[in-house]
């Protein structure tokens, strides 16, 4: 599915998909809501996750904490239906535009994983919530499943 990277012209100006995975075999992905443009999340894909995303038209990522491919929404029901897949100029970053079933993408319960803004209040750095209400209750959706956040 992916072509070998052979020239700058091919990578930057060609019509062949030849993504550049990092030394861990991953490529960063930003995901936005196709309708509103809201940034939903940042994640990574390995080759398998990228191929599954293209083939199934549903977002698949590589979980660095769980060390496996994960089908976004498989446990929550908040599947990300892929509308567009874009790749940057040197093919080392992917941008997914998606329609989220259930309208939430964050395992904490918010629509976006970027639900807080960094503020400098006279030298005190704080996080202010940009989303006031959760879209869902994580305990209701995930039950006693382990939290993917690693300290």
Domains and CATH numbers, the chain: 8-106 (3.10.20.810)
Alpha-carbon span 37 to 78, nearest angstrom: 17
Give the containing element (helix H, strand E) for 7.
Answer: none
Phi-psi group of 62: left, alpha or beta (phi > 0 → left; psi -120 to 50 → alpha; rest → beta):
beta
114: how many CB neighbours lie within 10 A of its CB?
16
> Cβ(3)–Cβ(18) under 8 Å?
yes
Residues in the chain: 151
Secondary structure element (H or E) that encloses residue 101, with its range: none
Query: With a cut of 70, which residues of the chain have pLDDT below it?
Result: none
pLDDT of residue 148: 82
Q: Give the whole-angstrom CA distance, residue 114 versus residue 134.
A: 13
CA distance 107 to 125: 25
Rounded distance between C-alpha atoms, residue 61 and residue 59, angstroms:
7
pLDDT in the model for residue 146 = 82
């Amino acid at each position: 599915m992916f072509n070998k990277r052979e020239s700058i012209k091919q990578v930057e100006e060609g019509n062949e998909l030849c993504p550049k995975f990092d030394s861990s075999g991953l490529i960063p992905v930003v995901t936005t809501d196709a309708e509103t443009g809201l940034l939903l999340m940042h994640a990574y894909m390995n080759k398998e996750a990228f191929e599954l995303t293209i083939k199934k038209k549903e977002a698949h990522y590589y979980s660095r904490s769980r060390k496996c491919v994960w089908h976004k929404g498989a446990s929550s029901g908040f599947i990300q239906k892929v509308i567009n897949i874009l790749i940057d100029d040197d093919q080392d970053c992917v941008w997914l535009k998606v329609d989220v079933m259930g309208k939430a993408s964050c395992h904490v319960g918010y629509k976006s994983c970027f639900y807080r803004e960094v503020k400098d209040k006279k030298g005190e750095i704080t996080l202010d919530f940009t989303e006031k209400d959760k879209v869902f209750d994580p305990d209701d959706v995930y039950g006693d499943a382990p939290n993917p956040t690693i300290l």
